[in-house]
């Protein structure tokens, strides 16, 4: 199985800050990487697919980059509604696997 490791596990930042979350795959996955946002009691919501493509309706302050084994999700100017957990997921090979998640808190 491909292991997905996110860092940090949790982060606290202020409104307007730039925040970056990283995701590392245990082996190369090309650009088969997605990012999800999950708020308490809700289903995950797709933010980024194919490593850097912004899902329709997602604010442009969210961006993704990377290929191979190293990826990142960046929020350019943090907003209060961005408080959530974020997960990466590889779509390169089965079984499909997720990172352990990053909890983002607004100071």
Partner 1 sequence: QVQLQESGPGLVKPSETLSLTCTVSGGSISSNYWSWIRQPPGKGLEWIGYIYYSGRTSYNPSLKSRVTISVDRSRNQLSLKLSSVTAADTAVYYCAKGPWNQGGWFDPWGQGSLVTVSS
Which residue's structure tokens are 């930042």? 13
Which residues in this chain contact partner 1 in the complex, by CB under 8 A?
A: 31-34, 42-46, 49-50, 55, 87, 89-92, 94-101
Q: Least separation, in Å, of the C-beta of 27 and partner 1?
A: 15
- Residues paired with 73 in a beta bridge: 21, 64
Closer of 14 and 94 to partner 1 (Cβ): 94
Closer of 72 and 97 to partner 1 (Cβ): 97
Q: Least separation, in Å, of the C-beta of 107 and partner 1?
A: 23
CA–CA distance, 63 with 73 (Å, rounded to integer): 6
For residues 106 and 14, the answer to whether their CB atoms sit within 8 Å is yes
Q: Least separation, in Å, of the C-beta of 93 and partner 1?
A: 9
Cis peptide before 95 (omega within 30 of 0): yes
């Amino acid at each position: 199985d491909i292991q997905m490791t996110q860092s940090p596990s949790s982060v606290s930042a202020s409104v307007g800050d730039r925040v970056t979350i990283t995701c590392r795959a245990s082996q190369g996955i090309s650009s088969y990487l997605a990012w999800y946002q999950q708020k308490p009691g809700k289903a995950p919501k797709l933010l980024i697919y194919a490593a850097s493509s912004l899902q329709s309706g997602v604010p442009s302050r969210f961006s993704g980059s990377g290929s191979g084994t190293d990826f990142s999700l960046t929020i350019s100017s943090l907003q209060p509604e961005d408080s959530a957990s974020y997960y990466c997921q590889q779509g390169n090979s089965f079984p499909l696997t997720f990172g352990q998640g990053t909890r983002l808190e607004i100071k």
